[in-house]
C-alpha cells in the first residue's frame, strides 16, 4: 500500500482516462442510460472482468454490485451460487430465479434453471445486472437478469495469448484473435483451465471455445452468429463437512464423496443467431434462434437412496428456442414514446437416466424417463416521456410453461404439470436535476419449478404433483446519479412479498434434496453504492447491502413451524470496498475487501455461520508499442489469510453444511498481444 500511495502521489501527469462515464444499459431491451432507468441496475466493463483476474467465476467482478451474494467459486461440480435479493440462494445445483443471457442468447433453460459453465470471461465486454423481479420482459426472473455482451473484433486484426498459473496447481491458457474483414466482424477465444483445488477431491478441468461473427448487410442490418463449446471432463465434488471435520482438517473431502467418487462431467455445444435491423429511423426488429446440445453425467454420494433413485445420473439434454421483438419510437401527445413487443418460444427435452452408484462405478438402472418443457411468452413494454424530466415505463408479459414426463421403465411414472402467469410492471423515473434521478417501480414475477426441483419424493420416477410455482411482488424506490463525471451513486429500498417460495429439504435417509413451498415470505432490503474518481487514475467503489428476509408462514415437511425465521443462505449485512489504480507509465493495481455477515444454514435457524472479511490484491504492468502489448501481472487471494466458508449447503443432512475456502494463495500471469 505504501508503494501504491507513492505512485499515486507521483501521478500528477496521469491522464483522466478513468473519469467516470455514463453507462448505457441494453438488458432492458430498450437501450437506456443507467441513471434514467426506473430499476436498480449495475454494470461492469471489460477491464473489471478481464484485467489481472483468474477468471474462475462471475463473482470476481460482479461482487462490487450491491444486492448480489455469491458462494461456491471453488466447487465446480456444484456451480457458482448467485443470489439477487435472496432469490437463487436455495439452489443446490445451477442458478435459479435469475435469467442469464449472452449476446441475446439465453443461458437459462426453459424450465428456469441457469448455468455459467459456458460463459467465456476472457471475451466479455460488458455485464449488466437488473436487480429485482423482471418477469415483465424476460419471463421467470424473480431475482433479476444478468445480461452479458462479448467483445467485437477491433478494426485492426490481432492475436493474443495469455497464461495464468498459481496455487493448487492452477493452470489456465488462453488464445484470442479477432478483427474486421470488409463487412465481417469476428472474434474467437479458446481457453483451457486446470485446478487441483484447495480441498481433497476438488480437481477441475475444462476447455472452452467461444466465437462471435457479425456480418453487416448494411448500416441498418446485421446478423450475429455465436458458436460455443464446453468440454469439462472432470469436476470433482469434495462435499460438505460438519463443524467437527472443519476444525480437524479444512482440506479433507467428505468421506462419502470420496467413497462414491462424487463429481460431474460435461460436454456441450451451442449455436445462436441474432438478426437486428433498423427498418426505418424509428423502427427496430430483432430475431433470434439458438440450439444447445448438452451431455452431462453426475455421481452423487450414495448408492440408491430410500426413494429408489440411483446416485449416478446420465442426462442428455437438448434445448432450443426462437424469439423476436419489434420496437417503435414515435410521439404520443407530443411526447417521445418507445414501444417494444416480443414473442419467445423455447423447448427443452431431457433424457434422464439414473443408475446405482457402486462406489464410483455405474450400477443397475433405477430411473429412465424423458422430461419435456415448453414455454411460450408474449410481452410488451412502453416508455413514455410524460414531461421533459420524467418518464413512465409500463410493461407486462404472459407466460405459459408446460412439463411432461414419460416413464420408460413401465412403472407408471408419467405425468404433466402446467403453469401460466401474467407479470405486470410499472415504473417511473424523475430527473430532478441532471445529477439526481428519483425512481420507483412495482413489478410482479413468477418462477415455476425446474425439472430437478420437480423430482418426486414419493418414487424414483414422475413429477412432484404438490409443488407449485412461486410468485413475487416487488415495491421499490431509489435515487441515483452521476455528478460531474467523478461520482456515481445509487440508493435503493425494496419490499418483496413472496407467495409459495420454493425451498429445499432433505427427505430423511434419501441423501438428496427435494423441494416444497413456503406459504408466504417477505424480502426487505436496502442497497447502496458509491463510486468516486479519487485522483488521476484512482477510482474507489463502496457498496453495502442490508437484507431482512423472513418466512412469514411456513410449515416444514415434517410439520415444523418456521414462521418468523430468517430465510437461510443470505447474510443480513454485506459490504464491499475496492480501489482500482492505473498510471500513465503502465503500472496498475487493485485491492478489494468484502465483509460477509452471519447467516443461517437451515430453515430452523439452529445453525449460524461466522461472519468474515476476505481481501484480495492484484497488480501488473502494461507495456505497449506500435503493434505489441505485454502485460505481466500477479495476484494474492485472501490476503489476510482468513479462515472462512466458501459455500454453505442449506438444510444439509448430518450437519454437513460447510465447504471451507482456500487460505492465502497466489497466482500470476502474462498477456501478450500483437496487432497486425
Query: Domain segments of the chain: what residues?
Result: 2-675
Instruction: Please provide the distance, in angstroms rounded to a whole number, between the alpha carbons at the two ends of the chain.
Output: 38
- Mode of pairing for the β-strands spanning 98-102 and 144-150: parallel
Question: What per-residue confidence (pLDDT) applies to 410?
Answer: 74
Integer-rounded Cα radius of gyration of the chain: 24
Question: What per-residue confidence (pLDDT) applies to 27?
Answer: 57
- Mode of pairing for the β-strands spanning 612-621 and 628-637: antiparallel
Distance CA 20, CA 124 (A): 20
Query: Mean pLDDT in each 10-residue stretch from start to end of the chain (676 residues)?
Result: 37 43 63 80 92 92 93 87 88 81 88 86 93 75 88 95 97 97 96 96 96 95 96 95 96 96 95 92 92 94 85 94 93 90 94 94 92 93 93 93 88 82 93 92 89 77 83 94 88 94 70 79 96 94 97 84 93 96 96 96 94 97 94 97 94 90 97 96
- pTM for the predicted model, two decimal places: 0.91
Question: What per-residue confidence (pLDDT) applies to 22?
Answer: 64
Secondary structure class of 565 (helix, strand, coil): coil
Secondary structure class of 284 (helix, strand, coil): strand
Question: What per-residue confidence (pLDDT) applies to 511?
Answer: 58
Distance from the Cα of residue 492 to its chain's centroid: 21
**CB atoms near residue 508 (< 10 Å):** 10
Q: How far is CA 45 from CA 42, 128, 149, in A?
A: 11, 9, 10
- Between CA 66 and CA 499, with CA 544 as vertex, the angle to 5 degrees is 60
Secondary structure class of 137 (helix, strand, coil): helix
Distance CA 615, CA 577 (A): 9
- Between CA 345 and CA 349, with CA 348 as vertex, the angle to 5 degrees is 150
Do residues 521 and 549 lie in contact, with contact meaning Cβ atoms separated by under 8 Å? Answer: yes
Q: How far is CA 627 from CA 189, 322, 454, 630, 674, in A?
A: 20, 42, 55, 10, 6
Question: What per-residue confidence (pLDDT) applies to 485?
Answer: 75
**CB atoms near residue 285 (< 10 Å):** 14
Do residues 252 and 241 lie in contact, with contact meaning Cβ atoms separated by under 8 Å? Answer: yes
Do residues 114 and 424 lie in contact, with contact meaning Cβ atoms separated by under 8 Å? Answer: no
Secondary structure class of 61 (helix, strand, coil): helix
Do residues 623 and 594 lie in contact, with contact meaning Cβ atoms separated by under 8 Å? Answer: no
- Mode of pairing for the β-strands spanning 470-483 and 487-506: antiparallel
Domain 2-675: state its class.
Answer: mainly beta
Q: How far is CA 587 from CA 5, 52, 163, 631, in A?
A: 13, 12, 19, 10
Distance CA 669, CA 140 (A): 40
Distance CA 210, CA 356 (A): 36
- Between CA 106 and CA 403, with CA 348 as vertex, the angle to 5 degrees is 120
Beta strands in 77-157 (DSSP E): 81-84, 98-102, 105-106, 124-131, 144-150
Contacts (Cβ under 8 Å, ≥6 apart) of 137: 28, 29, 342, 379, 381, 395, 397, 425
Look-up of cell digits 410468485: 471
Distance CA 551, CA 546 (A): 17
Cell numbers given for 657: 453444511
Distance from the Cα of residue 336 to its chain's centroid: 34
Contacts (Cβ under 8 Å, ≥6 apart) of 281: none
Distance CA 76, CA 313 (A): 17
**CB atoms near residue 424 (< 10 Å):** 16
Q: Dihedral sign for Cα 639, 640, 646, 650, please.
A: negative
Question: What per-residue confidence (pLDDT) applies to 3?
Answer: 35
Largest CA distance in the chain: 77
Look-up of cell digits 459456458: 118
Question: What per-residue confidence (pLDDT) applies to 5?
Answer: 39
- CB-side neighbour CA atoms (13 Å) of 507: 16
Amino acid at each position: 500500500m505504501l508503494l501504491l500511495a507513492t505512485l499515486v502521489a507521483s501521478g500528477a501527469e496521469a491522464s483522466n482516462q478513468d473519469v467516470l462515464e455514463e453507462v448505457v444499459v441494453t438488458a432492458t431491451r430498450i437501450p437506456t442510460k443507467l441513471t434514467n432507468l426506473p430499476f436498480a441496475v449495475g454494470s461492469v466493463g471489460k477491464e473489471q472482468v478481464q484485467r489481472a483476474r483468474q477468471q474462475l467465476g462471475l463473482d470476481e467482478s460482479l461482487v462490487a454490485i450491491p444486492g448480489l451474494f455469491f458462494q461456491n467459486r471453488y466447487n465446480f461440480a456444484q456451480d457458482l451460487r448467485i443470489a439477487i435479493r435472496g432469490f437463487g440462494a436455495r439452489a443446490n445445483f445451477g442458478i435459479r430465479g435469475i435469467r442469464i443471457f449472452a449476446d441475446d442468447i439465453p443461458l437459462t433453460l426453459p424450465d428456469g434453471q441457469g448455468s455459467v459453465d459456458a460463459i467465456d470471461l476472457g471475451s466479455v465486454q460488458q455485464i449488466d445486472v437488473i436487480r429485482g423481479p423482471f418477469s415483465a420482459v424476460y419471463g421467470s426472473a424473480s431475482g433479476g437478469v444478468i445480461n452479458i455482451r462479448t467483445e467485437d473484433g477491433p478494426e485492426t486484426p490481432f492475436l493474443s495469448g495469455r497464461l495464468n498459473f498459481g496455487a493448487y496447481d492452477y493452470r489456465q491458457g488462453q488464445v484470442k484473435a479477432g478483427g474486421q474483414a470488409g463487412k465481417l466482424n469476428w472474434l474467437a477465444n479458446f481457453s483451457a483451465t486446470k485446478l487441483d483445488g484447495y480441498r481433497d477431491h476438488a480437481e477441475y478441468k475444462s476447455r472452452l471455445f467461444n466465437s462471435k461473427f457479425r456480418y453487416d448487410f448494411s448500416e441498418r442490418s446485421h446478423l450475429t452468429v455465436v458458436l460455443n463449446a464446453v468440454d469439462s471432463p472432470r469436476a470433482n465434488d469434495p462435499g460438505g463437512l460438519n463443524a467437527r471435520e472443519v476444525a480437524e482438517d479444512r482440506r479433507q473431502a467428505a468421506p462419502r464423496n470420496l467413497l462414491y467418487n462424487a463429481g460431474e462431467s460435461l460436454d456441450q455445444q451451442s449455436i445462436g443467431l441474432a438478426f437486428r435491423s433498423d427498418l426505418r429511423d424509428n423502427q427496430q426488429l430483432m430475431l433470434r434462434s439458438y440450439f444447445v446440445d448438452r451431455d452431462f453425467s453426475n455421481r452423487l454420494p450414495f448408492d440408491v437412496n430410500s426413494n429408489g433413485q440411483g446416485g449416478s445420473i446420465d442426462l442428455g439434454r437438448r434445448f432450443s428456442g426462437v424469439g423476436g421483438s419489434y420496437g417503435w419510437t414515435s410521439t404520443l401527445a407530443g411526447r417521445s414514446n418507445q414501444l417494444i413487443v416480443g414473442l419467445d418460444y423455447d423447448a427443452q427435452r431431457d433424457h434422464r437416466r439414473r443408475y446405482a452408484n457402486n462406489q464410483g462405478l455405474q450400477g443397475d438402472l433405477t430411473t429412465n424417463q424423458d422430461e419435456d418443457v415448453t414455454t411460450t411468452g408474449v410481452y410488451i413494454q412502453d416508455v413514455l416521456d410524460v414531461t421533459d424530466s420524467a418518464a413512465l415505463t409500463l410493461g407486462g408479459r404472459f407466460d405459459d410453461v408446460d412439463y411432461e414426463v414419460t416413464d420408460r421403465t413401465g412403472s407408471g411414472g408419467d405425468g404433466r404439470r402446467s403453469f401460466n402467469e401474467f407479470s405486470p410492471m410499472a415504473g417511473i423515473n424523475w430527473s430532478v436535476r441532471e445529477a439526481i434521478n428519483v425512481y420507483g417501480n412495482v413489478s410482479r414475477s413468477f418462477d415455476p419449478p425446474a425439472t430437478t426441483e420437480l423430482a418426486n419424493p414419493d418414487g424414483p420416477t414422475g413429477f412432484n404433483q404438490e409443488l407449485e410455482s412461486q410468485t413475487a411482488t416487488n415495491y421499490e424506490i431509489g435515487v441515483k446519479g452521476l455528478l460531474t463525471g467523478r461520482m456515481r451513486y445509487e440508493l435503493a429500498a425494496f419490499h418483496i412479498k413472496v407467495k409459495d417460495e420454493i425451498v429445499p429439504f432433505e427427505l430423511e435417509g434419501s441423501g438428496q434434496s427435494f423441494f416444497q413451498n413456503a406459504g408466504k415470505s417477505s424480502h426487505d432490503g436496502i442497497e447502496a453504492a458509491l463510486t468516486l474518481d479519487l485522483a488521476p487514475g484512482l477510482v474507489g467503489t463502496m457498496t453495502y447491502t442490508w437484507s431482512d428476509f423472513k418466512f412469514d408462514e411456513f410449515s416444514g415437511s415434517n410439520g415444523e413451524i418456521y414462521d418468523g425465521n430468517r430465510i437461510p443462505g443470505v447474510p443480513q449485512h454485506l459490504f464491499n470496498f475496492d480501489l482500482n489504480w492505473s498510471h500513465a507509465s503502465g503500472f496498475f493495481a487493485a485491492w478489494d475487501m468484502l465483509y460477509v455477515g452471519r447467516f443461517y444454514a437451515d430453515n430452523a435457524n439452529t445453525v449460524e455461520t461466522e461472519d468474515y472479511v476476505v481481501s484480495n490484491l492484484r497488480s501488473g504492468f502494461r507495456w505497449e508499442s506500435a503493434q505489441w502489448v505485454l502485460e505481466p501481472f500477479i495476484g494474492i487471494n485472501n490476503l489476510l489469510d482468513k479462515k472462512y466458508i466458501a459455500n454453505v449447503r442449506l438444510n444439509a443432512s448430518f450437519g454437513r453444511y460447510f465447504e471451507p475456502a482456500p487460505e492465502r494463495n497466489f497466482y500470476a500471469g502474462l498477456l501478450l498481444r500483437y496487432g497486425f
